[in-house]
Structure 1
């Protein structure tokens, strides 16, 4: 039995689709089963509830051979690391109680981010908690998600621009969520691995933000520019969109860590997935902009 958390999320929904054609039974934890596509709902076992709650994960992990674990973001959280730890505490108790053999989780790429790197540091704290259970563990380590650009579709369409606090010439590795889901699928279906390791997952190309703007311009057939935001403006924008003070500061700290080369070493040693930034723009971003 494979247990999947966040089955309606960017990564989880693609992972579930990748598992449905296999022979392994799949169980999902979801707050609202109505959000599952009909073709998924009819072919998986559903445990309704939040995987933050111990009773829910205890039920879901019963008889589980492997678990896919994701801590969903909560921009309203009053403590970033506390959010990750609170979610994962229930998982660790259930892993031990139910005898789960393997866990695959979404973590983060990066060096020197154990402290003061916002959500990146919090994700590492989650990894340490899971590893302390002794379970066989693979931490998928992506850099920035290409899908983060989907939050800026309106700005790209209406202003011909996208915005972040990093310098335009700063190269920051990225990855499409489909490639993360594909690696997770591979690991969940493979019973041969053991131990505890990180698995960097990146795209074949590494572009600066100015380079991304050039690709966007070519794919969309219109000029698109990158505009660096002052850190204070970036924080204020997150607050305006409903983020808590702690979550907004965590995003700022994460951006500052990226500026300081947090991803560089891991990106060089990672085996890239198949999806280039141009391909992702053509297949995902362009339809979103034109919709």
Structure 2
């Protein structure tokens, strides 16, 4: 398989064409003589004939150097790489309670969502061969990203999630339903949903009880993660003297999360701090592995050294000949 590693340099090939265009338009200076009689019988030396090749040498040199800059490569074989991959939907809670400041990162208080972002981002970038989708939910649930192996894009979208983007409440049933819909897009031997929430289902069009029945029928495994603590959690609010922390009541339905996991052959985890959250995703990472084969081109051979050498040869030949044997003195 042939390709250019830096194809943008190919635009510079317009330069030789422009040079040729202007050269053809340029009129040659005329030499006035009294008569041309007999000039056609004058012998033309071999060197005079070869002098016309100098512009050709220069053009070839320029073209070859530009092609070398574009780095032509040849992939000499296509290999099948055996890797472990599954279809994963990350269902993330963006309800208002995710703004609680009860997690610490680098000795600083951070929101639950910020803690989730840092851990999930690392989880995403460690996966190989998996297709990952992202569903976010609050009062409603919607697809943030369909199944893809573009992990950098997933991480980019993750970093830009905002609390309250899907509404202030918690629609766990809808989140599972939308996640199941995304898993229909591409077939896989293994399909899982990682559902992360800090609340209790109190919104949505479908109950989580009905949603997990569908998941169980389709053999979709759901791992549930309850983040934060029950009781009271600190929230940063605008007070009379500026920003201040105020403790507010929060409620997480751990029994529902345990049931969701149990009925779909998944696992329930509870994360009260950043370290436990990291361990949970590391555990899920080790659990969810499935063999899959990926085809890709490898071992690209760089061809630019030979092209560059040829270009430099023509350039050097042009410089030497133009300044020695074919030197023109005005």
**Is TM > 0.5 for Structure 1 vs Structure 2?**
no
Task: Calculate the TM-score normalised by the size of structure 1.
Answer: 0.36
**Higher-Rg member (1/2):** 2
More strand by share: 2
Higher relative contact order (CA 8 A, sep 6+): 2
